[in-house]
Amino acid sequence: MKIVLASNNAKKLLELQALFAPLGVELVTQGSLGIPEAEEPFGTFAENALAKARHAAEASGLPALADDSGLAVEALGGAPGVLSARYATLFGQPKSDADNNRVLLEQLAAFPAPEQRGARFVCALVAVRSAADPEPLIAMGRWQGQILTAAQGEAGFGYDPLMFIPSLGRSVAELSAAEKNVQSHRALAAVHLAAQLREVWHLG
């Protein structure tokens, strides 16, 4: 089954394609179909993912899959949250992974101890058969860790170099793609969504 991915992030496409390949799913990005990005006006990951999935399905006429994910830092009241991708712009800085990471470190400067720097990667995955699908499939995944005081590792994207996973003794950016695809918030959400795709959409 061909499903439109409501994202133009090449690394996210690779992650999700690997996770859903066993179901016989072929993901195509909305950008490759000339579909512009949807608005993300909501305050929760699940609502934004649903909005993006419905937008991609309506524009393409195909089933759609959307992910809305980000970082929730406990000391910052859950920020950057749904604004994770553009966190730096809230402080007058450019939108980039490097600027987002730098701003996050600045905001956590008053919390130097590891136990003060608890954080979660959060992912909401939503699949719809059409824009009007009354039964969207929704799955959540959470990956607990701590924010480092300096970047570690070269792999991954986003906040991966700052997210330390105590149980693994490494940052997310120090994990291989295969390791991340087993451990991550997106992987956990994908497992839950895949079960629903098998049960409700009869895939795989």
Asked about 68 being catalytic, the answer comes back as: yes
- The answer to whether the CB of 123 falls within 8 A of the CB of 186 is yes
- What does the alpha-carbon distance between residue 17 and residue 137 come to, in Å, rounded to a whole number? 17
- What does the alpha-carbon distance between residue 96 and residue 118 come to, in Å, rounded to a whole number? 23
**Tokens linked to 39:** 């608005």
In terms of phi and psi (left: phi > 0; alpha: psi -120 to 50; beta: otherwise), the region of 66 is beta
Active-site residue, selected from the candidate residues 68, 97, 99, 133: 68
Q: Give the residue numbers marked as catalytic.
A: 68
